[in-house]
C-alpha cells in the first residue's frame, strides 16, 4: 500500500461525513493502481452547500454546489513527497446523488474521492478520449476496493457526473 497523508477537514455544521479511513483507503487505491512511487500528501475538506456553491462560483463561474472540486498543486520534482492539492467535497450533494443513483453512501463517497484524486493527478474528462481513460481508471480503482462500477446505470438511475 502506498504512503498517503491526508489532511481531512470537516467544515463546521456538517453532521455526517465518512470516516477518515475511507478517504485514505480510496487515495491509497488510486496510488496503487497507478503505481505511484512517491509518498502523497493532500487535503480533503467536506463542506456544505454554501461553501461549495461559493467555491464553484469563484473558480468555475457556476452558481450551484457541486459534488467535488479539485485544486491541484504542482509539486516541485525535487521534493521527496508529491503534494497533490486539495479536494472539496459537498456532503449534501454526494448524499443526494447516492440516493438518486441507488448507490451506497460509502461507495459514492469513495468514488468522489477517487474521481477528485485523479483530477489532482492531472486526469480530466473534457475530451471524450480523456473521459474514457479517466472513467476506466475510476472503475478499476473501485473494483480493487470491491465496489460496483460507479458508471453502471441501474433502474431509475441517471448519471450526474
pTM of structure: 0.91
Domain containing 32 equals 4-144
Does the residue 157 lie in any domain?
A: no
Q: Evaluate whether 118 touches 138 at the Cβ level (below 8 Å).
A: yes
- State which H helix or E strand residue 143 sits in: helix 128-144
> Across-strand partners of 9?
45
CATH number at residue 74: 3.40.390.30
- Mean pLDDT for the chain? 92
CA 61, distance to chain mean position in Å, is: 20
Separation of alpha carbons 146 and 108, rounded Å: 13
User: What 3-state class would DSSP assign to 70?
Assistant: strand
Residue 61, φ and ψ in degrees, nearest 5: 55, 35
Does the residue 154 lie in any domain?
A: no
Does the residue 158 lie in any domain?
A: no
Is 15 buried (19+), middle (13-18) or exposed (0-12) by CB count in 10 A? exposed
Does the residue 33 lie in any domain?
A: yes
Q: How many domains does the chain have?
A: 1
Q: What is the pLDDT of residues 68-122, one digit of tens each?
A: 999 999 878 888 888 999 999 999 999 999 999 999 999 999 999 999 999 999 9
Amino acid at each position: 500500500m502506498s504512503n498517503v497523508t491526508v489532511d481531512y477537514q470537516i467544515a463546521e455544521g456538517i453532521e455526517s461525513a465518512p470516516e477518515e479511513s475511507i478517504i485514505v483507503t480510496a487515495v491509497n487505491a488510486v496510488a496503487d493502481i497507478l503505481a505511484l512511487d512517491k509518498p502523497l500528501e493532500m487535503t480533503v475538506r467536506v463542506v456544505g452547500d454554501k461553501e461549495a456553491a461559493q467555491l464553484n462560483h469563484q473558480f468555475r463561474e457556476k452558481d450551484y454546489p457541486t459534488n467535488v472540486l479539485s485544486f491541484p498543486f504542482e509539486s516541485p520534482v525535487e521534493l521527496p513527497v508529491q503534494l497533490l492539492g486539495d479536494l472539496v467535497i459537498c456532503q449534501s450533494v454526494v448524499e443526494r446523488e447516492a440516493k438518486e443513483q441507488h448507490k451506497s453512501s460509502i461507495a459514492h463517497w469513495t468514488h468522489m474521492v477517487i474521481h477528485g484524486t485523479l483530477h489532482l493527478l492531472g486526469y480530466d474528462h473534457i475530451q471524450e478520449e480523456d473521459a474514457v481513460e479517466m472513467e476506466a481508471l475510476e472503475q478499476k480503482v473501485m473494483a480493487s476496493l470491491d465496489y460496483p462500477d460507479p458508471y453502471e446505470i441501474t433502474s431509475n438511475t441517471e448519471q450526474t457526473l
